[in-house]
Structure 1
């Protein structure tokens, strides 16, 4: 396995946020899989498309794929069913790719000669996918490509699960706060002083101070900045 792939593993494993994870994947695979186009699609906790990052294709193609291609994508259907990477030759008979509805309605215009898709899995279901395409007179993806993509997808799945874990932990912490304490936490996060928070909520400055002491104990923190950091995935969701 090439050193470039190990570098990608390391970059993925140390990504501090989902955005950084996406960017590191997009940059890291550029010289590895021999693909002309690639992308990563992530879903939210309601199985809705949360983000799309692509290289080499237009926004129009992404819209067309979401509108038409996704529902007729034979490779994606395989990935959904088996949670394993696949390319067109695995799921279609010889010569079947250019006869497929996906190719004719989406990929022909982009000259996608070969495609490959891998799963990002969390809690037993698909939470994202990665896609690759080769154009023109290029060789098909092979068994080694699939094995390498499987390894990359394992790292992506593990990292994404870890990045989403703090939000779950913060939810449990948030449940211990009262409605008033949540209001105070939001105002602290906006940079207001105790006096300003008191004026905003029509309570005394001392009441704000005592509330913060209780909140610090509940959240097991010792400073305002630490409290805001612990609740960063929860505050300002609206």
Structure 2
């Protein structure tokens, strides 16, 4: 049975910043898909590349792909047209991958045996992609992989849209807290005691108490109710 994506979905949903969101996915996603190379490419308002997080590939490869590979990438073309994930065996005739221009231009030198790309969308447009490559003598991506990547992209796109909303004061305040402190604040808002929070997060009651003291200082408050009120709409 394949590993459940639920923990990753939860981590995506609670990422406090866009940077944390990208790092969360980059640090965890390879173990779910059995990939050796992966990345997140985000676009700006002009549809130009705004940022790249990549593992297993060099800056030279990224630059070459942007210059030569992107225009002839049949998988990316499918993703652009359909806003759905795709891999090379879905869009090319059987056995045609290694004769494709993309493979010859970019992927052959990096031994990309199989590739898969998923769409990140916002307001009806493609705003980025999640890209995978398997290297060496490994199996191709399958329908289950496509469905899983589609789910990850949906969760990522939704959280990214939330984080990019015009930030209210409470959102700006919440950026002072770490992801763990945001978790604690959420549980405080639900009315849990220090002991209950400790049990929920598998930490000691004293650790919760000390964390709350730090949070109060960061937020310049003196009570739990004041903290929850200050973080309203952000937790």
Q: State the TM-score, normalized to the length of structure 2.
A: 0.70
Displaced runs of 4 or more, over 2 A: 1-4
Q: Distance in 2 between matches of 1:57 and 1:31?
A: 17
Report the 3-state secondary structure (helix = DSSP H, G, I; strand = E; otherwise coil) of the residue aligned with 2:24. Answer: helix
Q: Is 1:41 matched up with 2:46?
A: no
Report the 3-state secondary structure (helix = DSSP H, G, I; strand = E; otherwise coil) of the residue aligned with 1:134. Answer: strand
Counterpart in the other structure of 1:187: none
Report the 3-state secondary structure (helix = DSSP H, G, I; strand = E; otherwise coil) of the residue aligned with 1:31. Answer: helix
Q: Distance in 1 between matches of 2:15 and 2:68?
A: 33
**Contact map agreement 2:3 2:32 (CA 8 A) in 1:** no
Counterpart in the other structure of 2:204: none
Q: Distance in 1 between matches of 2:110 and 2:157?
A: 29
Counterpart in the other structure of 2:109: 109
Q: Distance in 1 between matches of 2:2 and 2:36?
A: 19
Q: How does 1:153-192 map to 2 (within 5 A)?
A: 153-166=153-166
Counterpart in the other structure of 1:67: 67
Offset from partner CA, 1:107-165 (integer Å, 9 cap, x none): 00000000000000100010010000001100000000000000000001101110111
Report the 3-state secondary structure (helix = DSSP H, G, I; strand = E; otherwise coil) of the residue aligned with 2:31. Answer: coil
Q: How does 1:57-136 map to 2 (within 5 A)?
A: 57-136=57-136
Counterpart in the other structure of 1:148: 148
Report 1 or 2 for greater relative contact order, CA contacts < 8 Å, sequence distance ≥ 6.
Answer: 2
Q: CA deviation at 1:46?
A: 2.4
Q: CA deviation at 1:3?
A: 5.2
Q: Distance in 1 between matches of 2:40 and 2:26?
A: 8
Any unmatched runs of 5+ in structure 2?
170-235
Counterpart in the other structure of 1:29: 29
Q: CA RMSD in A?
A: 2.0
Report the 3-state secondary structure (helix = DSSP H, G, I; strand = E; otherwise coil) of the residue aligned with 2:45. Answer: coil
Q: State the TM-score, normalized to the length of structure 1.
A: 0.69
Q: Distance in 1 between matches of 2:3 and 2:105?
A: 38
- Count residues in correspondence: 172
Q: Distance in 1 between matches of 2:90 and 2:119?
A: 15
Q: CA deviation at 1:2?
A: 5.0
Offset from partner CA, 1:191-225 (integer Å, 9 cap, x none): xxxxxxxxxxxxxxxxxxxxxxxxxxxxxxxxxxx
Report the 3-state secondary structure (helix = DSSP H, G, I; strand = E; otherwise coil) of the residue aligned with 2:159. Answer: helix
Q: CA deviation at 1:19?
A: 0.8
Report the 3-state secondary structure (helix = DSSP H, G, I; strand = E; otherwise coil) of the residue aligned with 1:62. Answer: helix
Higher Cα Rg, which structure: 1
